Amino acid sequence: MADCIFCKIVAGEVPCTKVLEDPVCLVFMDISPISPGHTLLIPKKHYESMMEMPAGDAAHMGGHLPALAAAVKAAAGAEALNVLQNNGRAAGQAVAHLHIHLIPRWAGDGLGFRWPAKAADPAALARQAEAIRQRLGA
């Protein structure tokens, strides 16, 4: 996409601080980090969301996550790590090119990702699970 900042990074039109690159994906440092060491993993091909990405490309990117998460956490000297991926503006996606955040964390760092929890209705859970199974063809 001509106006996508991540596509411009992949094309070499916009500089980035690369961590890793292969034929399918690119890993680079976030230029507006939430915490020191905040890293992004993106596919080189433009997919706006996870739902558009072929399973093979998703599996390839996912295959990098265990080692990449360990490396980011260790390099930052972090106590913990968030691995986050948002699909759509309502979910908090700011750049319309699929990307996975690896965010180093420390106790008391002031960052929060808590949602209000409430007990679920078992019948509603069963209906939702069935709707998902139907869409998966399971």
pLDDT, tens digit (0-9, with 9 covering 90-100), for 18-77: 999 999 999 999 999 999 999 999 999 999 999 999 999 999 999 999 999 999 999 999
In the predicted structure, residue 1 carries a pLDDT above the cut 80: no
| Options 60, 97, 99, 101, the catalytic residue | 99
What pLDDT sits at residue 115?
76
Q: Which among 57, 31, 46 has a CA at the least distance from the CA of 1? A: 46
Number of domains in the chain: 1
Q: Where residue 28 sits, what CATH number does that domain have?
A: 3.30.428.10
Question: Residue 72 sits in which domain range?
Answer: 5-136
Q: Is 99 a catalytic residue?
A: yes
pLDDT, tens digit (0-9, with 9 covering 90-100), for 102-123: 999 999 998 877 778 889 999 9
C-alpha to C-alpha distance for 25 and 102, rounded to whole angstroms? 15
- pTM for the structure as a whole: 0.91
What pLDDT sits at residue 134?
94
Hey, CA dihedral for 104, 66, 61, 20, is it positive or negative? Answer: positive
What pLDDT sits at residue 84?
95
What dihedral angle (degrees, nearest 10) is formed by the CA atoms of 43, 46, 49, 53?
Answer: -70
